[in-house]
Amino acid sequence: MARLVVIDGLDGSGKTTQFERLGEYLSSQGTSYRQICFPDYREPSSALVKMYLAGDFGGSPDSVNAYAASSFYAVDRYASYKRFWEKDYQSGMLILAARYTTSNAIHQMSKLPRGEWDGYLDWLEHYEYDLLGLPRPDRVAFLDMPPEVSQLLMTRRYDGDEKQKDIHERDEQYLKRCRESALYAAEKLGWDVVRCAVDGKPLPENRITQSLIKLL
């Protein structure tokens, strides 16, 4: 049985939606589990991430280099692990995470030239798992919702108000680059790619949940 299961995907790919549905499924099965979400926006450990996403270091994702931005997200995970879920993880409880170290591979690696991707992935895993001591995921499901579809879903979520999107969300070109890096990381690190749209239309939420349950 996997202990740390990660659901990741581009912005607006349906992570929160599927995370909640999987939680309901696990509860209905009587499985004890704990859900964790990154960034941990409710906690002060996410301060640098918030500043970055609000554009305090510059209005484009590329204003902060891949390694610096990755560190912002990594320390937030470290704080969450130490404060909230280390004990449960150590006791063997199933931990379900929405986003994780994997999000750095998706959103930060994309800032680097392809020739540097392998070096970045080696650095990322060594830094977060070996040096910081965060647990390695046992399974990673990447929700593959094409950026042109997720953009529409996010616009709908924000009621058509484009200004509510953060510096990642509003940049469709950047999200397309992120999809490339995600598929590269998925192949290299053995993530499960879950197809979430067909012919430019999102699949029904319950179909995606069924695919995830099979993976679990």
Ligand X SMILES: Nc1ncnc2c1ncn2[C@@H]1O[C@H](COP(=O)(O)OP(=O)(O)OP(=O)(O)O)[C@@H](O)[C@H]1O
Closest to ligand X by CB, 6 vs 154, is 154
Residue 7 near residue 98 (C-beta atoms within 8 A): yes
Q: From the list Mg ion, ligand X, none, pick the one residue 61 interacts with, judged by a Cβ distance below 5 to 8 Å according to partner type.
A: none
- The owner of tokens 């995830």 is 212
Q: From the list ligand X, Mg ion, none, pick the one residue 124 interacts with, judged by a Cβ distance below 5 to 8 Å according to partner type.
A: none
What span, in angstroms and rounded, lies between the C-alpha atoms of 122 and 98? Answer: 22
Q: From the list ligand X, Mg ion, none, pick the one residue 96 interacts with, judged by a Cβ distance below 5 to 8 Å according to partner type.
A: none
Closest to ligand X by CB, 125 vs 205, is 205
Q: How far is CA 125 from the centre of its chain?
A: 15
Name the residues that contact ligand X, by CB under 6 A: 9, 11-17, 153-154, 156-157, 202-203, 205, 208
Query: Least distance to ligand X from the beta carbon of 63, Å?
Result: 20
Q: Which residues contact 56 (CB under 8 A, 6 or more apart)?
A: none
Residue 151 near residue 172 (C-beta atoms within 8 A): yes
Residue 39 preceded by cis peptide, ω within 30: yes
Residue 138 near residue 97 (C-beta atoms within 8 A): no
Closest to Mg ion by CB, 16 vs 31, is 16
Closest to ligand X by CB, 96 vs 208, is 208
Query: Least distance to Mg ion from the beta carbon of 125, Å?
Result: 24
β-pairing, 201-202 vs 197-198, is antiparallel
In this structure, how many other beta carbons lie within 10 angstroms of the beta carbon of residue 76? 22
Closest to ligand X by CB, 93 vs 153, is 153
Closest to ligand X by CB, 91 vs 173, is 173
From the CA atom positions of the chain, what is the Rg in Å? 17
Which residues ranging from 6 to 25 are in contact with Mg ion (CB under 5 A)?
A: 15-16
Q: From the list ligand X, Mg ion, none, pick the one residue 12 interacts with, judged by a Cβ distance below 5 to 8 Å according to partner type.
A: ligand X
Query: Least distance to Mg ion from the beta carbon of 19, Å?
Result: 8
Closest among 10, 2, 3 to 165, alpha carbons compared:
10
Q: From the list ligand X, Mg ion, none, pick the one residue 63 interacts with, judged by a Cβ distance below 5 to 8 Å according to partner type.
A: none
* Residues in contact with Mg ion by the rule CB under 5 A: 15-16
